[in-house]
Structures are given as C-alpha cells and as structure tokens.
Amino acid sequence: MKLKTILAFALSLGLFQAQAQLAATADTIPTKQGPLVVQPVTHGSLVLNYQGKNVYVDPYGGAELYAGLAKPDLILITDIHGDHMDPKTLGALQTSGVKMVVPQAVADQLPEQYKQQLVVLKNGESSTQQGIKVMAVPMYNLPESADAKHVKGRGNGYILEMGGKRVYISGDTEGTPEMRKLKNIDVAFVSMNLPYTMDVDQAADAVLDFKPKVIYPYHYRGQNGLSDVDSFKTQVNAKNKQIDVRLKDWYPAQ
C-alpha cells in the first residue's frame, strides 16, 4: 500500500510540475469572445485554447510533451514530414473522434484508423470546425522546383479565425508572395530554419511586409542548430516597432 501511495504521489508531482512548466510558457491574447491561450510545445508544435476548445497543431515528439494539457478538440497537420505528421504521437494522445484538418498528402499517409476523422483541405479552401474557421494557405520553398523539400500545393499553412482575431500558422515555408500579401493578421507563427524553410533575414523581411500585430518565431531548429531569433526581433523592430515580437523557448531541452 505504501508503494502504491508513493507511486501515486510521484505521478501527481510529475503532472503538477509539467502543468506548472507549461503555464509558465503560455501567453494569453484577449479576443472579443474570451481569451486565446497560446501554448508553445516544441519546434513547430503548439496548442491554442479558445472557449474551452484545444487546437493541437502538428503534434509530434511523444505524448509526454503534452502532459498537463487537456486533450485535443481539433488537430491541424501541415505536412507529411515527421516533425509535423507523427502517427506515433497521435496514437498516444486521446484523439478518438477528433477532427483532423490536413492536406491530401497527409491524408494519403495517415493510418486507416483516422480516415473518418479527416477534413481534407487544398490551398485556398476553408472549413469551420469547433466554431473556428480554418483556411488553408500555401506553404512552399523558393524558387519553386519539383525536387524542393516543400513543393507548392502539398502542404498547408493555416489561418484561423477566433473571436475576431486572425491567427496565421506558416508551416514549412519561405517568404512566399502569398505570405507577403496576407492582411489583418493578429497573431502569426513563422518558421525560420535552413535548409528547410528560410533564414532569419528572409523571415524578418517577409514579416515586415504583412505586418502581424504579434509574431512568434517558431520552427527555428535547422541543420546548424537554433536560428538567431534575437536577430530576427532586432531586424523587425528596427523597421517597425509596432510589431510585438514574442520570443518563446520552443526547445527547453536544448
């Protein structure tokens, strides 16, 4: 009995510590219909909580990273690569009956057990799930080529509409014309890691074009380690002090 009590206490303590660590990294953004909580998880994965609904974006890396977070009500997956589409992590999370918004390439590769849960969107298409409008936007490498790591049309970035706020999740992309032409983005998550997406200078230049109110550099680990997000912030704010650049630790184990 004592051993069971000790194990239960250790489990509870571990969960409490995980919850405390997650809470320390979360941001709250007010909307017209209640708070939007932004929870960085790792690399290109994050959780958005709005009106009691949890939106998981590209869950990967193991279910232990999501300990202390409520189960997903909606899942968005951007691309087929293992740091975005991770069947092992999906299988370890509580995803029964949860809708997953995905591009066709992801739908083609996910295990059969998820097929009835999928909402497949092409670039330019949209769907409303859990009261949240989800729009799929292009994400790809420049210059366009058939052998690029990310070809146009295969993956999706997403724009979510929540409480009057527009939230842009770039996925693996460079500063494409479509990104630069975005309008009225309140919160953005933009990738910057070579050789997979773009460098810090390119990311800053693109962000200065579409001018989100709040920008989070994310997905910034590349072949040569972590990108210099402090330089990104400096470059953006040197030309536009109104853009709120928020630096979060997406790699706490690094």
Confirm whether 99 is domain-assigned. yes
Contact between 219 and 192 (Cβ < 8 Å) = yes
pLDDT of residue 30: 95
Confirm whether 18 is domain-assigned. no
Confirm whether 187 is domain-assigned. yes
Confirm whether 17 is domain-assigned. no
pLDDT band at 51 (very low <50, low <70, confident <90, very high): very high
Confirm whether 4 is domain-assigned. no
Confirm whether 123 is domain-assigned. yes
H/E run at residue 217: strand 214-218
Confirm whether 143 is domain-assigned. yes
Residue 237 class from Cβ within 10 Å (0-12 exposed, 13-18 middle, 19+ buried)? middle
Contact between 159 and 137 (Cβ < 8 Å) = yes
Into how many domains does the chain fold? 1
Q: Say if residue 240's pLDDT is above 90.
A: yes
The whole-number average pLDDT for the span 169-185 is 98
For residue 137, give the CATH number of its domain. Answer: 3.60.15.10
H/E run at residue 31: strand 27-31
CB atoms within 10 A of CB 225: 11
pLDDT tens digits, one per residue of 121-165: 999 999 999 999 999 999 999 999 988 999 999 999 999 999 999
The domain of 224 spans 27-245
Confirm whether 2 is domain-assigned. no
